[in-house]
Chains A and B, each alone.
Chain A
């Protein structure tokens, strides 16, 4: 399958480097924010000057940079490279750059509002919490930029199809297109949320917002978002990992089936994030819960297919018996350091996957909902396989795109293992604490982990401490990674830059396309029908419920904001001695209570 003969142009290489390096620099701050979160929660730090002393500002930064910005930039850069290489076609550079610039401008805009303290709304920005207008505008630009990137891949693909009738679309290209089809459909929901509901409300054109409708639109986007994170990494697992391991992909057809299943099942599941929300009838929550189990299927197929591919590699390397192959894989081979980033992600995903299935089980969700269990779970997905795959591939691509030699290779190889140990500790602490009721998104350092507080919970202390140790280990591993990444960049180039991926062959592969796995369209149609069937009643519920609309709130006060400006000036802090303002606040609170 060595079709990638076309080199990326110099301008495309530059664009890709920009898209990989800029978010990596931001990730340094994002990861620092993660460590701070753990230290805040344990009461070890009480103020982080870097984010104006604010716990929620740090948490917003952490979620937005790590989960929204870094992942989206990576997916676009990786997509550009995979599409160019698999189809052997150059992309429209002007549009590719337009997309990249929009994303960068949007990111800068959003980041500035967070740093300026005008957007302490967390990465889910649930109304009625209100951020600065430019926080939302920045996010819209990032999303629109990523759409444009996707659109630049469509004409060359259609051309490729015309030129290669009866040839299968390369699996990696299928994966990238599926990633962005899911992303495009899903982000329409969040675009509607932001442009139709939030922006007019933030600008003061309307006074109230239907918070439940906004949340529903957010999660219609928010769940597929997790597949947008995961699918590029699945592309690596299917098309690169088997060869790195020294073998072949067990089944190319299984890979195609898996990707197409994600088009269908990624989206009609969003209300599993709203199982405890009022205003949506339980039948529909249950049905979307059921589809969540369906969307676990492609991941189970993946678990088997990848295990079979690794078994093939392990046997070839002399592994005997039922499990001997597991011990023959190149875990510590520096010339295949990328393998370590993939295999650790896969192992973590075993735990991330089962905890996700528990979350989606309606009744069990009541036990874990909004507890620390949740960040415990999703760090083993998004901060596990997703980030490890993306870190590994970013370094690989940056080295290829610049023609530089990777520095500190042994350390680079050790990073994913050390990081994973830290992650398992942190997630264990968060999850066990969560089962005892320890809340997420809470600066527990002030209360539950503060021995001087009446709320102190001595029984949670162990969990909080383990979180601190785990988070510190993760942080150290990441620091080593960042040093290696930027050191690689500053050295002189060692060879001509040349982007290439080592594509895998397959054990089982039909030479001609399997008809029902050849076209995207039928799968997209089924997906749209399913989204309509599962979401129409939910939308009906949230738009007809009679809880009314909500005014604008800031994180600084329990009373609504008077002016649409998100600045805290319109309300003095509670400790203010200004009696008049205090009266005004009390009045407004009275109004609220009525």
Chain B
């Protein structure tokens, strides 16, 4: 059923050896930046509250 029958229409063949996840890398960097923003906003919240 479901996961057993991949019904993908492959639009683009990907060469595994040369595949580089540049989007995932960009996503990851954004994720870390987002984490840092939230973390520091909490940090400054504590400072503000003394």
Contacts and interface: CB of A to CB of B under 8 A. Distances in A.
Interface stretch (A59-67, A78-86, A268-276, A316-324): A316-324
A307 B38 contact: no
Contact of A336 (B3, B19, B24): B3
A568 B22 CA distance: 63
Given A303-B28, A364-B43, A367-B46, A323 B23 contact: yes
B45 A367 contact: yes
Interface in A326-342: 326, 335-338
Contacts of B9: 317
Contacts of B16: 248, 507-508
Contacts of B27: 307, 311, 323
Contact of A354 (B11, B23, B25, B39): B39
Sort chain A's interface into a size bin: 35 or more
Nearest to A500: B4
A364 B46 contact: yes
Which secondary structure characterizes the binding site on chain B? helix
Given A303-B31, A507-B16, A335 B7 contact: yes
A244 B19 contact: no
Nearest to B32: A300
Contacts of B3: 240, 243-244, 336, 338, 396, 501-502
Nearest to B16: A507
Which secondary structure characterizes the binding site on chain A? helix
Contact of A318 (B5, B11, B19, B49): B11
Interface string A299-322: 010011001101110111110011
Given A318-B11, A367-B46, A243 B6 contact: yes
B24 A367 contact: no
A321 B26 CA distance: 11
Contacts of B43: 361, 364
A322 B26 contact: yes
A475 interface: no
Interface in A467-511: 500-502, 507-508
A400 interface: yes
Nearest to B13: A316
16 contacts: A243-B6, A244-B2, A246-B8, A304-B25, A307-B21, A308-B21, A312-B21, A317-B11, A321-B23, A335-B2, A357-B35, A358-B38, A364-B42, A366-B46, A367-B45, A500-B4
Q: Which 6 pairs, one residue from A and one from B, show the smallest C-beta to C-beta distance?
A: A502-B3, A318-B11, A308-B21, A307-B24, A308-B24, A246-B8
Interface of B: 1-14, 16, 19, 21-28, 31, 34-35, 38-39, 42-43, 45-46, 49
